[in-house]
Structure formats: structure tokens, C-alpha cells
Amino acid sequence: MSVTVKTQEQNFDVGKELLNLRARQQNQFGAVVSFVGLVRDSSNSKDLIALEIEHYPDMTESSIVEIVRKAENRWDILDVLVIHRVGRLYPSEEIVLVQVASPHREKAFECCEFIMDYLKTDAIFWKREITTTGSYYVESSDSDTRRKDRWD
């Protein structure tokens, strides 16, 4: 299985990443599922100006690889790409891309959802929301934890 994990400030090109995945796998799969997460324009009933994401590259990327390895133990997947942006991001900007290639679509959908649920709770990032009323660090929500726990 091919695993690619990147943390980066610059935006990503979903189409280009799909072409790269196809080149890596030489079209030896039946399905690719892509998820693109966007920065929301509000949080906890406050207007969001920006989201700042801090990380330690090696630690953060290792935590994401561990999540992908857990997925690999559950599903027959051929390729996974996770790109998570860091730095200052603004509402409606892309924040995360997850692409999963598998022989079958059902496995690709499930695996992509699993990875996203675990990214929300287990990936090592520090997120600070900057709103019209101040700034504060945010943690995973209870609903994020419940979504992850359903996989156990």
C-alpha cells in the first residue's frame, strides 16, 4: 500500500493529486474517494476571522501515518493520501484532503470516513480560532469523539 502524508501551508490541487494517485497506482483500483474539508465561517456562534493551525511536522505526520495504518488493518486499500494544511487559514479555504483508492467503492468510502473521524481527534495539531470577540484554542468536540468511538 502507498501512503502519502503531507502537512503544508500552501493550498493543494485536488485534480493534480488525483492524477498523481493514478500514476502511482497505474489505475489498478476500482474506486477513489476524495474528501475536502473547508474552514467554516463560524464557530461556537462566533464569527470566525481565521483559524491558525500549529504543529510539529514529524510528530504530526507520524500521528497521521498511525491513523492510516489503523485503516489499513481494517480495509483492503491500495493508496491513501492525506494533506493537512497548517498556518493561518481563512473561511472557505481548503484545510484537508483525504484520498483513498481501493478495489471497491464501499471500502474506499468507509476508509475515508474512518480516517477523517480519527484526524479530528487523534492527529496532533493545535488549533486557535480568531473571532470577532477574541481568540482561543479549540479541542475536539464531543461529537467528534462519538464519531470516532463508533469504529470500535
CATH at residue 19: 3.90.1170.40
2 vs 23, 124, 129, 147, CA distance in Å? 12, 22, 34, 26
Domain extent at residue 27: 2-149
Q: Mean pLDDT by 10-residue block, N- to C-terminus, for the chain (152 residues)?
A: 95 96 86 95 76 95 97 94 98 96 94 97 95 90 93 92
Tell me the one-letter amino acid at 31.
Answer: A
For 78, list phi and psi in degrees, rounded to 5.
-105, -30
- Say how many domains are in the chain: 1
Rounded to two decimals, the pTM is: 0.94
Q: What is the pLDDT of residue 41?
A: 77
Alpha helices, H only, the chain:
14-25, 57-72, 105-122, 142-149
Q: Helix (H, G, I), strand (E, B), or coil: what is residue 20? A: helix
Q: Helix (H, G, I), strand (E, B), or coil: what is residue 130? A: strand
Which residues, in sequence order, are CB contacts of 57 under 8 Å at separation 6+? Answer: 7
Q: What is the pLDDT of residue 29?
A: 86
Q: How far is residue 113's CA from residue 121's CA, in Å, rounded to a whole number?
A: 13
